[in-house]
Amino acid sequence: MSKILISGGTGYIGSHTIVQLLESGYEVISIDNYLNSSPTAISGIEKITNKQLKNYDVDLCDMEKTSKIFNEHPDIVGIIHFAALKAVGESVEKPVWYYRNNLNSLLNLLECCIKYEIPNFIFSSSCSVYGNITDLPVTEDSPLSAAESPYAHTKQVGEDMVRQVLKNAKTQSIILRYFNPAGAHPSGLLGESPIYAALSLVPIIAEVGNGKRPELTVHGDDYQTRDGSCIRDYIHIVDLADAHIQALDFLIAGKQEDHNEIFNLGIGKGVTVLEAIDAFEKVSGTKLNYKIGPRRVGDVVAVYADYSKAKELLGWEPKYNIQDIMSTAWEWEKNKA
Residue 7 pLDDT exceeds 90: yes
**What is the pLDDT at residue 328?**
98
Amino acid 87: pLDDT: 84
> What's the mean pLDDT in 123-143?
92
* Domains in the chain, CATH or no CATH each: 3-182+234-267 (3.40.50.720)
**pLDDT of res. 194:** 75
| Residue 66 CB contacts under 8 Å (≥ 6 apart), including other chains | 31, 58, 60, 108, 109, 112
What's the pTM? 0.94
Task: Give the span between the Cα atoms of 262 and 284, in whole angstroms.
Answer: 36
Element containing residue 236 per DSSP (H, E): strand 234-236
Q: Please tell me whether residue 104 adopts helix, strand or coil conformation.
A: helix
- Give the model confidence (pLDDT) of 283-319 as tens digits: 999 999 999 999 988 788 888 999 999 999 999 999 9
Q: Which of 270, 299, 266, 276 is nearest to 206 (CA)?
A: 276
| Alpha helix (H) residue ranges in the chain | 12-23, 40-49, 63-72, 88-93, 95-115, 150-165, 201-209, 237-252, 273-284, 308-309, 322-336
Average pLDDT over residues 136-163: 95
The 10s digit of each residue's pLDDT in 44-68 is: 999 999 999 999 999 999 999 999 9
Query: Is 152 a residue whose pLDDT tops 60?
Result: yes
pLDDT, mean over the chain: 95
Residue 171, CB-side half-sphere exposure with 13 Å CA sphere: 29
Q: Which residues are catalytic?
A: 151
86-121 pLDDT, tens digit per residue, is 888 889 999 999 999 999 999 999 999 999 999 999
Question: Using 50, 70 and 90 to split pLDDT, how confident is the model at 177?
Answer: very high
Q: What is the pLDDT of residues 211-268, one digit of tens each?
A: 999 999 999 999 999 999 999 999 999 999 999 999 999 999 999 999 999 999 999 9
Question: Is 70 exceeded by the pLDDT of residue 337?
Answer: no
> If you average pLDDT over each of 85-89, 146-150, 185-189, which comes out highest?
185-189
As a whole number of angstroms, the distance between CA 328 and CA 239 comes to: 13
Which pLDDT does position 199 carry in this prediction? 79
Residue 7 or 90, more confident: 7
pLDDT for 312? 97
